[in-house]
Protein backbone atom coordinates (compact mmCIF):
# COMPACT_ATOMS: atom_id res chain seq x y z
CA UNK A 1 0.00 0.00 0.00
CA UNK A 2 1.34 3.43 -0.96
CA UNK A 3 2.01 5.80 1.90
CA UNK A 4 0.21 8.54 -0.03
CA UNK A 5 -3.06 7.89 -1.85
CA UNK A 6 -4.85 10.45 -3.97
CA UNK A 7 -8.43 10.41 -5.20
CA UNK A 8 -9.80 10.59 -7.72
CA UNK A 9 -7.11 9.54 -10.21
CA UNK A 10 -8.89 11.41 -12.99
CA UNK A 11 -11.42 14.22 -12.76
CA UNK A 12 -13.31 16.00 -15.52
CA UNK A 13 -15.24 19.17 -14.73
CA UNK A 14 -17.09 21.93 -16.51
CA UNK A 15 -15.77 25.48 -16.29
CA UNK A 16 -17.05 27.18 -13.16
CA UNK A 17 -17.47 24.03 -11.07
CA UNK A 18 -16.10 23.62 -7.55
CA UNK A 19 -13.43 20.93 -7.48
CA UNK A 20 -12.07 18.82 -4.63
CA UNK A 21 -9.01 16.57 -4.80
CA UNK A 22 -8.23 14.35 -1.83
CA UNK A 23 -4.99 13.07 -0.32
CA UNK A 24 -4.76 10.42 2.40
CA UNK A 25 -1.57 9.24 4.01
CA UNK A 26 -0.68 6.45 6.40
CA UNK A 27 2.28 7.83 8.36
CA UNK A 28 2.80 10.62 10.83
CA UNK A 29 3.90 13.72 8.99
CA UNK A 30 5.45 17.08 9.72
CA UNK A 31 4.47 18.72 6.43
CA UNK A 32 2.30 18.14 3.38
CA UNK A 33 2.86 19.72 -0.02
CA UNK A 34 0.50 20.27 -2.95
CA UNK A 35 2.10 20.67 -6.36
CA UNK A 36 0.77 21.31 -9.87
CA UNK A 37 2.23 19.74 -13.00
CA UNK A 38 1.19 21.36 -16.26
CA UNK A 39 0.71 19.44 -19.52
CA UNK A 40 4.12 20.70 -20.65
CA UNK A 41 5.67 18.92 -17.67
CA UNK A 42 6.72 21.79 -15.42
CA UNK A 43 6.08 21.35 -11.67
CA UNK A 44 5.08 24.23 -9.41
CA UNK A 45 4.66 24.15 -5.66
CA UNK A 46 1.21 25.40 -4.63
CA UNK A 47 1.07 24.96 -0.86
CA UNK A 48 2.95 23.60 2.10
CA UNK A 49 0.81 22.76 5.15
CA UNK A 50 1.44 21.45 8.61
CA UNK A 51 -1.97 22.33 10.04
CA UNK A 52 -5.22 24.14 9.27
CA UNK A 53 -5.94 25.80 5.99
CA UNK A 54 -4.24 27.97 3.38
CA UNK A 55 -5.74 30.00 0.54
CA UNK A 56 -4.19 31.45 -2.57
CA UNK A 57 -6.52 32.99 -5.10
CA UNK A 58 -9.07 30.36 -6.10
CA UNK A 59 -7.12 27.54 -4.47
CA UNK A 60 -7.71 26.36 -0.92
CA UNK A 61 -5.80 23.60 0.85
CA UNK A 62 -6.86 22.03 4.12
CA UNK A 63 -5.32 19.38 6.31
CA UNK A 64 -6.63 17.26 9.17
CA UNK A 65 -3.63 15.78 10.97
CA UNK A 66 -5.69 13.47 13.19
CA UNK A 67 -7.51 11.95 10.22
CA UNK A 68 -4.34 11.91 8.06
CA UNK A 69 -6.17 13.65 5.24
CA UNK A 70 -5.79 16.75 3.11
CA UNK A 71 -7.96 18.32 0.43
CA UNK A 72 -7.23 20.75 -2.37
CA UNK A 73 -10.21 22.80 -3.51
CA UNK A 74 -10.49 24.91 -6.64
CA UNK A 75 -13.33 27.41 -6.78
CA UNK A 76 -14.76 28.67 -10.09
CA UNK A 77 -12.61 26.27 -12.09
CA UNK A 78 -11.19 27.35 -15.45
CA UNK A 79 -9.68 25.41 -18.36
CA UNK A 80 -6.25 26.79 -17.42
CA UNK A 81 -6.55 24.79 -14.14
CA UNK A 82 -6.23 21.60 -16.21
CA UNK A 83 -3.14 19.87 -14.86
CA UNK A 84 -1.95 17.01 -12.67
CA UNK A 85 -2.18 17.84 -8.97
CA UNK A 86 0.29 16.02 -6.74
CA UNK A 87 0.29 15.55 -2.97
CA UNK A 88 3.56 14.86 -1.11
CA UNK A 89 4.32 14.31 2.56
CA UNK A 90 7.35 14.51 4.82
CA UNK A 91 7.25 11.67 7.35
CA UNK A 92 8.24 12.53 10.91
CA UNK A 93 10.23 9.30 11.05
CA UNK A 94 12.06 9.60 7.77
CA UNK A 95 14.86 11.73 6.43
CA UNK A 96 14.41 15.47 6.70
CA UNK A 97 15.05 15.60 2.99
CA UNK A 98 12.70 12.95 1.66
CA UNK A 99 9.21 13.60 0.39
CA UNK A 100 6.86 10.73 -0.48
CA UNK A 101 4.71 11.64 -3.46
CA UNK A 102 1.27 10.49 -4.51
CA UNK A 103 0.66 9.41 -8.09
CA UNK A 104 -1.27 12.55 -8.89
CA UNK A 105 -4.79 13.51 -9.94
CA UNK A 106 -5.34 14.46 -13.58
CA UNK A 107 -7.82 17.34 -13.74
CA UNK A 108 -9.44 18.36 -17.01
CA UNK A 109 -11.67 21.44 -17.02
CA UNK A 110 -13.78 21.81 -20.14
CA UNK A 111 -15.03 25.20 -21.36
CA UNK B 1 15.99 35.17 -12.24
CA UNK B 2 15.94 31.97 -14.26
CA UNK B 3 15.10 29.85 -11.22
CA UNK B 4 16.15 26.23 -11.73
CA UNK B 5 17.54 25.32 -15.14
CA UNK B 6 18.29 21.87 -16.51
CA UNK B 7 20.17 20.69 -19.57
CA UNK B 8 19.56 18.92 -21.82
CA UNK B 9 15.77 18.92 -22.25
CA UNK B 10 15.77 15.67 -24.24
CA UNK B 11 18.34 12.90 -24.64
CA UNK B 12 18.43 9.50 -26.29
CA UNK B 13 21.16 7.08 -25.21
CA UNK B 14 22.12 3.56 -26.12
CA UNK B 15 22.51 0.97 -23.37
CA UNK B 16 25.93 1.31 -21.77
CA UNK B 17 26.53 4.94 -22.74
CA UNK B 18 27.19 7.54 -20.09
CA UNK B 19 25.93 11.06 -19.68
CA UNK B 20 25.63 13.89 -17.17
CA UNK B 21 22.47 15.86 -16.51
CA UNK B 22 23.19 19.42 -15.46
CA UNK B 23 21.19 21.50 -12.99
CA UNK B 24 21.76 25.06 -11.80
CA UNK B 25 19.79 27.44 -9.58
CA UNK B 26 20.22 31.17 -9.16
CA UNK B 27 18.17 31.61 -5.97
CA UNK B 28 21.07 31.07 -3.54
CA UNK B 29 19.35 27.94 -2.23
CA UNK B 30 21.13 25.58 0.13
CA UNK B 31 19.46 22.27 -0.72
CA UNK B 32 19.17 20.60 -4.11
CA UNK B 33 17.47 17.37 -5.24
CA UNK B 34 17.28 14.98 -8.16
CA UNK B 35 14.01 13.12 -8.83
CA UNK B 36 12.80 10.73 -11.45
CA UNK B 37 9.19 10.49 -12.63
CA UNK B 38 7.89 7.31 -14.24
CA UNK B 39 4.39 6.61 -15.63
CA UNK B 40 1.99 5.42 -12.95
CA UNK B 41 4.39 6.26 -10.13
CA UNK B 42 4.98 9.26 -7.95
CA UNK B 43 8.17 11.27 -8.10
CA UNK B 44 11.04 9.45 -6.43
CA UNK B 45 14.15 10.97 -4.90
CA UNK B 46 17.42 9.77 -6.41
CA UNK B 47 19.98 11.88 -4.53
CA UNK B 48 19.97 15.11 -2.61
CA UNK B 49 22.47 17.68 -1.41
CA UNK B 50 21.57 19.28 1.90
CA UNK B 51 24.20 21.96 1.47
CA UNK B 52 27.26 22.75 -0.59
CA UNK B 53 29.83 19.98 -0.18
CA UNK B 54 27.41 17.26 0.93
CA UNK B 55 25.43 14.65 -0.99
CA UNK B 56 23.27 11.74 0.19
CA UNK B 57 21.36 8.86 -1.32
CA UNK B 58 17.62 9.05 -1.72
CA UNK B 59 15.11 6.33 -2.45
CA UNK B 60 16.49 5.04 -5.81
CA UNK B 61 20.23 5.85 -6.06
CA UNK B 62 21.47 2.70 -7.84
CA UNK B 63 23.05 3.43 -11.21
CA UNK B 64 23.55 7.14 -10.51
CA UNK B 65 26.20 9.43 -9.11
CA UNK B 66 25.98 13.12 -8.23
CA UNK B 67 28.27 16.08 -7.76
CA UNK B 68 27.50 19.30 -5.92
CA UNK B 69 29.98 21.38 -7.84
CA UNK B 70 29.25 24.58 -5.92
CA UNK B 71 26.23 26.17 -4.28
CA UNK B 72 24.55 26.77 -7.66
CA UNK B 73 25.16 23.49 -9.50
CA UNK B 74 24.16 19.88 -8.86
CA UNK B 75 24.80 17.32 -11.59
CA UNK B 76 23.53 13.76 -12.02
CA UNK B 77 25.65 11.19 -13.85
CA UNK B 78 24.63 7.91 -15.42
CA UNK B 79 27.84 5.88 -15.82
CA UNK B 80 26.35 3.02 -17.86
CA UNK B 81 22.81 3.75 -18.94
CA UNK B 82 20.18 0.99 -18.82
CA UNK B 83 16.67 0.90 -20.33
CA UNK B 84 15.26 0.96 -16.76
CA UNK B 85 16.65 4.49 -16.46
CA UNK B 86 14.31 5.75 -19.17
CA UNK B 87 12.41 8.43 -17.30
CA UNK B 88 11.82 12.13 -16.86
CA UNK B 89 14.37 13.66 -14.47
CA UNK B 90 13.64 16.74 -12.40
CA UNK B 91 16.06 18.83 -10.42
CA UNK B 92 14.72 20.92 -7.53
CA UNK B 93 16.06 23.28 -4.91
CA UNK B 94 14.92 24.77 -1.61
CA UNK B 95 16.21 27.63 0.47
CA UNK B 96 16.20 25.95 3.84
CA UNK B 97 17.45 22.51 4.66
CA UNK B 98 14.89 19.76 4.55
CA UNK B 99 11.47 19.34 3.04
CA UNK B 100 9.53 21.76 5.22
CA UNK B 101 10.45 24.44 2.75
CA UNK B 102 9.01 25.08 -0.71
CA UNK B 103 10.82 23.22 -3.47
CA UNK B 104 11.36 24.87 -6.85
CA UNK B 105 11.56 22.53 -9.81
CA UNK B 106 13.42 22.69 -13.09
CA UNK B 107 11.67 21.99 -16.40
CA UNK B 108 12.81 18.37 -16.55
CA UNK B 109 14.97 16.20 -18.81
CA UNK B 110 13.27 13.47 -20.81
CA UNK B 111 15.74 10.59 -21.16
CA UNK B 112 15.26 7.52 -23.33
CA UNK B 113 17.68 4.60 -23.12
CA UNK B 114 17.47 2.16 -26.02
A101 CB-near residues (< 8 Å, 6+ apart)? A4, A86, A87, A88, B42, B43, B44
Chain B residues in contact with A42 (beta carbon < 8 A): 105, 107-108
Contact flag B105-A45 (C-beta cutoff 8 Å): yes
The gap from C-alpha B35 to its chain's centroid, in whole angstroms, comes to 5
CA of B63 vs chain A CAs: smallest distance (Å): 19
Q: Sign (positive/negative) of CA torsion B4, B9, B13, B18?
A: negative
Residue of A nearest to B37 (CA): A103
> Is B105 in Cβ contact with A43 (below 8 Å)?
yes
Question: How confident is the model at residue B38, as a pLDDT?
Answer: 94
Q: Band the pLDDT of A1: cuts 50, 70, 90.
A: low
CA dihedral defined by A88, A91, A92, A94, rounded to 10 degrees?
-130
CB < 8 Å to A102, chain B: 42
Select the residue from A47, A86, A96, A97 to test the B interface by mutation, using most B Cβ atoms within 10 A.
Answer: A97
- Polymer length of chain A: 111
Is 60 exceeded by the pLDDT of residue B69? yes
> At A98, is the pLDDT very low, low, confident or very high (cuts 50, 70, 90)?
confident
Q: Which residues of chain B are within 8 Å of residue A27 when distances are taken between CB atoms?
A: none
d(CA B100, CA A29): 11
Spatial separation of the C-alpha atoms in residues A18 and A22, rounded to whole Å: 13
Task: Please give the pLDDT value at position B96.
Answer: 77
Strands B19-25 and B4-7: antiparallel
Amino acid sequence: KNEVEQSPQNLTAQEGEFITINCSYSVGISALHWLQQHPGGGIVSLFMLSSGKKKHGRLIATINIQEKHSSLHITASHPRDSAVYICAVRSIEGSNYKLTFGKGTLLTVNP
Amino acid sequence: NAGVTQTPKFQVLKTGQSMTLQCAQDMNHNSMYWYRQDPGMGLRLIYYSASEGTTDKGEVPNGYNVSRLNKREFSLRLESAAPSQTSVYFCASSAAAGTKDTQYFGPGTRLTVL
